Amino acid sequence: MRKISAFNFITINGFLNGPGGDISWHRHGEEENSFAADSLKSQNTLLFGRKTYEMMASYWPSQMAKENDPTVAEGMNNADKLVISNSLIKVEWENTRIISKDALVEIKKLKSLPGNDITILGSGSIVSQLAENGLIDEYLIMIDPVAIGAGTPIFHGIKQTFNLKLNDSKTFKSGVLLLRYKPF
């Protein structure tokens, strides 16, 4: 059975992004890049919502990404990718498949099948939906030491309380804190 993890970076006041999806506040230095590259070695299937997919697909296959961060670019481009969307008709990024109908049913089915684990990158609405349905096995939350005035909060729109247990933490030299939680 596959495990699903959610990886998000947030502001210290709990926002996934600022107005208009802005993530320019995120500190992603050499140490954080190394963590990202190491994480991609697991060869997990990557899962995105449409907005996150479009942002990622516009950057990682580009020559700029390949020059700026070749190891992460290679991992992102070679990974199997799923995008949950009712509006996308086709995808250009290699190794990507669209899930457009009955996303929760499809994710439950994928989770029960053998194969690589699944990592949700960003995609706050997808994280909230899967969290509400008890489908996420681990949450990796990278907290940047910055506060912004407005944005989309992590777990936006959840309707129930779910409790998490801290399993591990890591502090980066930049002041970014990585927390690993499991639901209980």
Which pLDDT score, from 0 to 100, does residue 40 have?
80
Helices (H), 85-180: 103-112, 124-132
Closest CA to 146 of 178, 176, 171, 181: 176
Rounded to the nearest integer, the mean pLDDT of the chain is 92
Structure-model confidence comparison of residues 179 and 101, the more confident one: 179
Average pLDDT score over residue span 172-180: 94
Rounded to whole angstroms, the Cα distance separating 70 from 74 reads 6
Residue 42's pLDDT is what? Answer: 82
Q: Is the pLDDT of residue 60 over 90?
A: yes
Residue 52 identity (one-letter amino acid): T
Comparing CA positions, the residue from 110, 113, 70, 76 lying closest to residue 95 is: 76
Q: How far is CA 98 from CA 22, 45, 55, 117, in A?
A: 25, 13, 15, 18
pLDDT-based confidence at residue 162 (cuts at 50, 70, 90) = confident
Domain range list for the chain: 14-119+132-175
How far apart CA 46 and CA 121 sit, in angstroms, is 7
List, for residues 65-117, the tens digit of each pLDDT value: 999 889 889 999 999 999 999 999 999 999 999 999 899 999 999 999 999 99
Fold of 14-119+132-175: Dihydrofolate Reductase, subunit A (3.40.430)
Instruction: Express as a percent the part of the chain with pLDDT over 70.
Output: 100
CA distance 61 to 3: 27
pLDDT exceeding 90 applies to what percent of the chain?
Answer: 78
How far apart CA 40 and CA 36 sit, in angstroms, is 6
Residue carrying structure tokens 């890049």: 33
Alpha helix (H) residue ranges in the chain: 30-40, 50-59, 63-68, 70-78, 103-112, 124-132
pLDDT, residue 1, reads 87
Residues 6+ apart with CB under 8 A from 60: 72, 73, 76, 77, 93
| 40 vs 105, more confident | 105
In sequence order, which residues have a C-beta less than 8 Å from that of residue 111 and are 6 or more positions away? 1, 2, 3, 4, 118, 135
pLDDT of residue 101: 86
pTM comes to 0.91
Q: Which pLDDT band holds residue 37 (cuts at 50, 70, 90)?
A: confident
Band (137; pLDDT cuts 50, 70, 90): very high
